A and B are shown apart, each in its own frame.
Chain A
Amino acid sequence: MSVALTVIYFATGLLFTAAALLAVARIVRGPSILDRVIASDVLLTTLLLVIGAEMVINHHTRTIPLMVVLAATAVFGTIAVARYVSKQDHPAQGEGANPDGPDGADQELDDAAKNVDARDDTIVDDVAEAAVESPEAERAEGK
């Protein structure tokens, strides 16, 4: 019986490890800031589940408060970033990702350039990075 449990616990650990690594891979590859936000959300959810699984495997309930706090505050990071991306409303919605409309990236770059004076330098860097990578890089990856 305990051998079966050990095998299941081990398999659980492997699955969680693979899930976290895949989420990290998506954070690294992007290509847009939204993909990274979604992937980091998945990474946080995986962490939440791992904390719960650890309680089961080691037979204790001490980290329940940690789970409560994580579940309650996980949403703020995602909302903050998504809210900021929304302010970049750019006119050619949808066309940037359309293979027939390859001018999407240029459009985004123009928008970013226009905002250089008005915005904090670091933020603009992020925008420019996201704009440069967004639609073309995605297709280049063989999607």
Chain B
Amino acid sequence: MTFDDILDLIAAICLLLGAFLSLAAGIGLLRFPDALSRLHAATKPQVLGLLFIVTAVALNARSWSTLLALLPVLLFQVLTAPISAHMVGRAGYRTGNFRRDILIADELEQAVDAATLEAEAAGEDVPDRGVGPSPTV
């Protein structure tokens, strides 16, 4: 077993781990009960799975420049995954797209209630309970 063989084997195992995380996301999507828990499952392959695949590609090419070329992929994904998860989570909360009966705590509700009370005390027109201060926020 030469050094090349060992590198190939490590790359293959990284591939397998990345594929496994992808499958975990798929199973989570199908099995979890509401949109917010599915969001949790969906983020597994986005960062760690990609990290495994990037490692595998760099090991397979055996070059540092390949790793350098793949770093932007990882960087973009790490930068943008929280943004999209935040937007989807926020939209999910506002449209009531979650199961309140399986929530343990809802700290946002207290904040929304407090803001509503404050706005009413200030004499502002509060359309309905639960709507944020402005739709453009």
Contacts and interface: CB of A to CB of B under 8 A. Distances in A.
B26 to A, nearest CB: 3
A86 B91 contact: yes
User: Interface of chain B, helix or strand or loop or mixed?
Assistant: helix
A104 B97 CA distance: 10
A34 B91 contact: yes
Contacts of B98: 94, 97
A79 B84 contact: yes
A48 B50 CA distance: 8
A85 B91 contact: yes
A74 B76 CA distance: 9
Nearest to A96: B96
Nearest to A6: B12
Interface string B74-103: 101100110110011011111111111100
Nearest to B132: A89
Interface string B1-45: 100010011011101101110110111011001110011001001
Given A52-B57, A91-B128, A75 B94 contact: no
Contacts, number: 233
B69 interface: yes
Interface residues of B, number: 70
Contacts of A96: 95-97
A71 interface: yes
Contacts of A92: 96, 130
Given A5-B12, A45-B50, A34 B94 contact: no
Given A8-B13, A49-B53, A71-B76, A85 B95 contact: yes
Nearest to A43: B26
Contact of A37 (B13, B26, B50, B88): B88
B70 interface: yes
